[in-house]
Amino acid sequence: MVIAALAMAYANTWQVPFLLDDTDSILANPSIRSLRTAFFPPAGTGITVGGRPMVNASLAVNYAFGGFDASGYHLLNLLVHGCAALFLFGVVRRTLRLPLLAPSFGRSATTLALLMTLLWALHPLQTESVTYVIQRAESLMGLFYLGAVYAFVRATESPTSRLWPALTFLSCLLGMATKEVMASAPLILFFYDAILVSGSWQKAWQNRRNFHLALASTWLLLGALVIANSGRGATVGFAASSSWWSYALVQTTAIVRYLGLTLWPADLVFDYGANVRPATGQILFGSLVTLALLTATVVALRRKSALGFLGLWFFAILAPSSSLIPVVTQTIAEHRMYLPLVAIIAPLVLLFWRLSPTLALTILLPLTVVEAFATYQRNLTYHSAIDLWRDTVAKRPDQERAHLHLGDAYLAAGRTDEGIASLEKARSLAPQDAKIYNNLGLAYAHAGRNREALTALEQAVKLAPDKAPVRLSYGNTLLAAGRQAEAMAEFERAVALSPDNSQARFALANGFALAGRTAEAIQNYERALQSDPGDVEVLTNLGAALARAGRIDEAIARNETAVRLKPDSVKSHLNLGIAFLMANRRDQALAQFREAARLGPVLPQDRYNLGGVLAEMGQPAEALQQFEALLTLGPPTAELHFNAGVLCAQLGRAPAAIDHFRRALSLAPNYPGARENLSRLEARLGPPPSR
């Protein structure tokens, strides 16, 4: 029933594209493209998968089965959420049958567990953790968290079993490798034991001391992963730019908002931004509410009350991200409520049930249907990046990051003017944000506003001189403006700042190739491939450089790899054809040229080269097609008409040949060979008829 309800609520999730952080964590993450590197996510980058090998491995499984087809990722997200819901059902049902709660709820444990599970799983507040692919980090952690609790409950029911303790430990370990929020699990399991199973702290320690110590040992893995992923230190932790006390004050208002969204989820926001600035009154109210809830939790825990355990569940799971430790990139985030939501839904359901089981069923069952419909509607907002960011801007108009991403979404959709307008709005809200200037500069360049583009990118460089992507954008724009020496200097700075940045290496290699420094171009193309071995564009350009260097066999191998990875790449087929031609493998060269022409569109210069090769290989009819296509694309040149005339003559189409030679002479009266060929054909056919 739970799975069927989820399938209906999320029936429209398959149309949701990759969004925001999905780009870095999935599309631009080479470690997921091989199962050999699946458990080694990029370190030191600050992206969502950093230091979270289980999340990265789950993405690698998706890639292995479906590449970058987003529907497969959504299916696994939904399966993770569904399995987490089943574990929650098992935990609640068995907990309500424990001696502490059985007198009040034991007989109705299955019904109550089903109600709580449906209300939790279908709640619209969960859409961010299920629909937004990379927030699988939250739901997968939730799966292991609930799995650990379920296995622990089963272990306490079967004291002689070795299976359930082992599964509890394994779930804790996997959760630690999924997301840092799992840190609270050993503590929660000890309190579960002390309050709901053993009845006291002393008995819990005496009965299962070694078990709890083993669970606590999983913190070692978490600590190692956090240390290894030092790149997150710039945005998370006490070294971050936000002070712990100001962050904590904002979190009190966040907790009030989370509670409000639990009861009335009508104003969900995808991204709250990094600079949430609540009013003084909001902070005061949030502080009072949070302090009251914390006090009630401590009092209830001292009395060993089940309500105290729920309060601890709520605050302990939120603590890693919503307490004193600043997370400056996400001050408020709705996906943080994935597990804490249980602590709000459970007591409300039990309260309704104590008042009247009939009343509870009358109210709560229809509420699950309302939730499912609201979740379905919320998922519609995710169907395009433009819709999602327009919704965010409407709800948070003073949030510069929303305007920034809305601008990027407009640009990706080809709506350049709207994109520039959104980025200019973002700039007005955050005039010291280098990323906004960077993206605005690229947008200006795309619109042909080159002077404004360079001005914006120069400002981006001033604001963030140590950011490789900013240097790279500036260099590309300088190169497009014909300022090659300055562009190369920026590319070299970008590489110095980030030696493993494949895009910076690629740009530098292209610059060397343009300057005729082939050996240095090859070296940098190969370094770029070390970071991303499957980059077809790098492979293709490397193949061309190797061919220019006379390393023909290597050029063929690189271009064959590119063609295999992307069979519809016109450029790869053309480069492979040229390499085959240089190796005197003419039939294979011709096959590649024909495939390139079939795939199209082919650049004029490539089409011209293709025509020349076809003519040289004794294929005048196909060669003529290429030259005639170029003549229709325009502008016509004497050279094109002359070549077309020669081919027409070879095919016995003398009148057409004469016409091409005359057109060549009209464009260039002294074009070599045109007058001689024309005279020869006219002599053979006789003078043209008089008019």
DSSP string, 152-207: HHHHHH-TT-SHHHHHHHHHHHHHHTT-GGGGGHHHHHHHHIIIIIISSHHHHHHH
In Å, how far are 35, 152, 385, 407, 442 from 389, measured between CA atoms? Answer: 34, 42, 6, 9, 20
What does the alpha-carbon distance between residue 201 and residue 333 come to, in Å, rounded to a whole number?
A: 34
pLDDT of residue 227: 87
Q: Are 497 and 471 in contact (CB under 8 A)?
A: yes
- Say which residue the tokens 């191998």 belong to: 557
Cβ neighbours around 230 below 10 Å, total: 13
The percentage of the chain sitting over the pLDDT mark of 90, rounded to a whole number, equals: 74
Could you tell me if residue 221 is inside a domain?
yes
Q: Which of 331, 347, 378 is the last residue of a domain?
A: 378
Question: What mean pLDDT is predicted for residues 591-619?
Answer: 79
In Å, how far are 56, 116, 348, 487, 569 from 534, measured between CA atoms? Answer: 18, 46, 52, 26, 14
CA-CA-CA-CA torsion sign (26, 27, 29, 34): positive
List the beta strands (DSSP E) in 361-511.
none
Q: For 236, list phi and psi in degrees, rounded to 5.
A: -130, 140
Question: What mean pLDDT is predicted for residues 176-186?
Answer: 96
Question: What mean pLDDT is predicted for residues 177-203?
Answer: 95
Could you tell me if residue 413 is inside a domain?
no
pLDDT in tens, 58-83: 999 999 999 999 999 999 999 999 99
The answer, yes or no, to whether residue 494 has pLDDT greater than 60, is yes
Instruction: Please give the mean pLDDT across all residues of the chain.
Output: 91
Could you tell me if residue 7 is inside a domain?
no
pLDDT of residue 239: 46
Task: Report residue 21 as tokens.
Answer: 């952080």
Could you tell me if residue 122 is inside a domain?
yes
Q: Which of 357, 378, 399 is the last residue of a domain?
A: 378
Could you tell me if residue 439 is inside a domain?
no
Domain holding 649, by residue range, is 620-691
pLDDT of residue 467: 93
Q: Which of 351, 378, 405 is the last residue of a domain?
A: 378
pLDDT of residue 378: 97
pLDDT of residue 192: 97
The answer, yes or no, to whether residue 335 has pLDDT greater than 50, is yes
The answer, yes or no, to whether residue 148 has pLDDT greater than 90, is yes
The answer, yes or no, to whether residue 46 has pLDDT greater than 70, is no
CATH number for position 650: 1.25.40.10
The answer, yes or no, to whether residue 233 has pLDDT greater than 70, is no
Could you tell me if residue 397 is inside a domain?
no
For the ranges 158-167, 624-633, 677-686, the lowest mean pLDDT is seen at 677-686
Could you tell me if residue 409 is inside a domain?
no
Q: Are 50 and 44 in contact (CB under 8 A)?
A: yes
Helix (H) or strand (E) holding 314, with range, is helix 306-318
Q: Are 464 and 430 in contact (CB under 8 A)?
A: no
pLDDT of residue 106: 93
Q: Show contacts of 484-490: CB within 8 Å, 24+ apart.
A: 484/511, 484/514, 484/515, 487/511, 488/512, 488/515
Q: CB-based contacts of 74: which residues, under 8 Å, 6+ apart?
A: 10, 13, 14, 16, 131, 133
pLDDT in tens, 78-113: 999 999 999 999 999 999 999 999 999 999 999 999
Query: Using the 8-state DSSP alphabet, how is residue 152 labeled?
Result: H
What does the alpha-carbon distance between residue 196 and residue 605 come to, in Å, rounded to a whole number?
A: 77
Q: What is the total count of domains within the chain? A: 2
What does the alpha-carbon distance between residue 542 and residue 502 come to, in Å, rounded to a whole number?
A: 13
Cβ neighbours around 12 below 10 Å, total: 17
What does the alpha-carbon distance between residue 315 and residue 9 come to, in Å, rounded to a whole number?
A: 29
pLDDT of residue 570: 87
pLDDT of residue 314: 97
For the ranges 121-135, 188-202, 310-324, 402-416, the lowest mean pLDDT is seen at 310-324
Model pTM score = 0.84
The answer, yes or no, to whether residue 464 has pLDDT greater than 80, is yes
Q: For the chain, how big is the Rg over CA atoms in Å?
A: 33
The answer, yes or no, to whether residue 143 has pLDDT greater than 70, is yes
pLDDT of residue 114: 97
Residue 236 pairs with which residues in a beta bridge? 327
List the beta strands (DSSP E) in 172-235.
none
Could you tell me if residue 593 is inside a domain?
no
What does the alpha-carbon distance between residue 340 and residue 310 come to, in Å, rounded to a whole number?
A: 9
pLDDT of residue 691: 42
pLDDT of residue 320: 86
What does the alpha-carbon distance between residue 321 and residue 132 come to, in Å, rounded to a whole number?
A: 19
